[in-house]
Structure formats: C-alpha cells, structure tokens
Amino acid sequence: MLLLYSVLRMVDWDHCQKSLGISFRHASLLEEAFVHSSYCNENPEFGYRSNERLEFLGDAVLNFIVTEKLYKEFPELAEGELTEIRASLVCRDTLAELASSLELGDWLLLGRGEELSGGRAKASNLANAMEAVTGALYLDQGLAKARRFILRQLKPDLEEIKTGKTMPNYKALVQEFIQGEKKPTPVYRLVEAVGPDHSKQFTAEILVDGEALGRGMGSSKKVAESRAARAAWEKLRCSHGQTRL
C-alpha cells in the first residue's frame, strides 16, 4: 500500500497544476482525476479509486457550461443549431485535443497493459481525463472556476464559430454516436462524380452496417462526405430525440 501510494506521490503534481493554470485546494481530487481504471484493476490494494466518478460529474458540468455559453453568446441561433454546436464542442475528439494541448496524458496512472497499448495517447482516455479534471475542479473550487477553466480552453473554437469560419464536425459527431450504439464504424462511399474536371460535383453516402444514413453533394469528395454526415446527423437527431444527442 505504501509503495503504491509512493508511486502516486512521485508524479509532479505541481507541474501538472502549473500546466493547467490552477492551484487545487485539495490535491487528492486532482490526483484521483488521473487514476485510470486499469491501474486500480491491476493494483486492488491501491488507496485511490478510478477517475470514472469524476468523469461522470465533469461530463455534466462541461455540458452545462457550454450550453450556458452558447445560449448567451448566440441569441440568433435556433435550438437545433445550438445542439449541434454544443455536441461538437463536447465530443470525444474535441475534448481529447484539449487534453492533449494540456498534456494530461503525461499524468495518467495506467495499468501495464494500457500503458503498453499506447493508453496515454488514446482519445478516449484523454477525453475522460479532461472530464475528470473538470469534475475535480468543480468540487474543489466551484462552478465559477470550472467555467473560467473550460471557456479558456474552448476560446479559439468559440471565436471561430462566432466568425463563421467553422461548423460542427458532423463526421466526428456521427462517428461518436455510432460508436456509442456499439455499431460498426461509418463508411463513406462515393456515389458519383459528374461534370468537367474544373467544376465536378461529387455525391457521397454514409453507410453504417450497410445502411445508407445520409447523402450529400459538393465540389469535392470531402465536402460531399461532410454534407452526407450532416444529413445522417439530422436523421439521428430526429429518430433519437435531441436530448439523446
């Protein structure tokens, strides 16, 4: 037990806090946020539980903070548009990118198998760590501090949305939803490409387990696939309800 605890204490938590720009009042909350379940499974006598409960809390806090910000920042947008933007900001890929920029993977406590399989760079582990840190900060210092922390990380994304330079990543949104449903990874198929080389129009479909979920057209295969993904996302939103997505 003492040996395992000493492993935890060997992590440079001061460096971690400096990287985050936060000074925790209760260091144990920050430490728990980085304990992966694989470490607990391989070390049953370890004194800390995994970060899964903090991840659960952080997910709710993140969703509230982003929802509140979008509601105030974009009064002209309808509910459906706000839902799509929120989903793109709190999806796994976005959270993993934020976690990577903060180097959260460096402080994860992983089991041996997870470590050897590249667990520090896995998008799921990074996104979960981001949620867990948010939950830990909320418990440690309240909603206002958690809000400042999250909005600081999301500032570039929010500014791009405000200037109209970016739209929700529909391909990422659809893929994350499909993975949550335990279905095969979406496949994009080029249906046709018509017109002269200088002004071709491409049509693409997105298929899941052989079923076409959406179709889109564009001046490039990438644009066509993105529009197909948006059509699929709209279909999934309608069939499952906006609260689910």
Q: Can you say how many angstroms the Cα of residue 222 is from the centroid of all Cα atoms in its chain?
A: 22
Q: Does the annotation count 52 as an active-site position?
A: no
Q: Does the annotation count 131 as an active-site position?
A: yes
Selecting among 31, 32, 55, 59, the annotated active-site residue is 59
Round to whole Å and give the CA distance between 52 and 55: 5
Torsion angle of alpha carbons 242, 245, 132, 106, nearest 10°? -150
Selecting among 131, 140, 176, 225, the annotated active-site residue is 131
- Reduce the secondary structure of the chain to three states and give it as a string: CHHHHHHHHHCCHHHHHHHHCCCCCCHHHHHHCCECHHHHHHCCCCCCCCCHHHHHHHHHHHHHHHHHHHHHHCCCCCHHHHHHHHHHHCCHHHHHHHHHHCCHHHHCECCHHHHHCCHHHCHHHHHHHHHHHHHHHHHHHCHHHHHHHHHHHHHHHHHHHHCCCCCCCHHHHHHHHHHHCCCCCCEEEEEEEECCHHHCEEEEEEEECCEEEEEEEECCHHHHHHHHHHHHHHHHHHHHCCCCC
Q: Which residues are tagged catalytic?
A: 59, 131
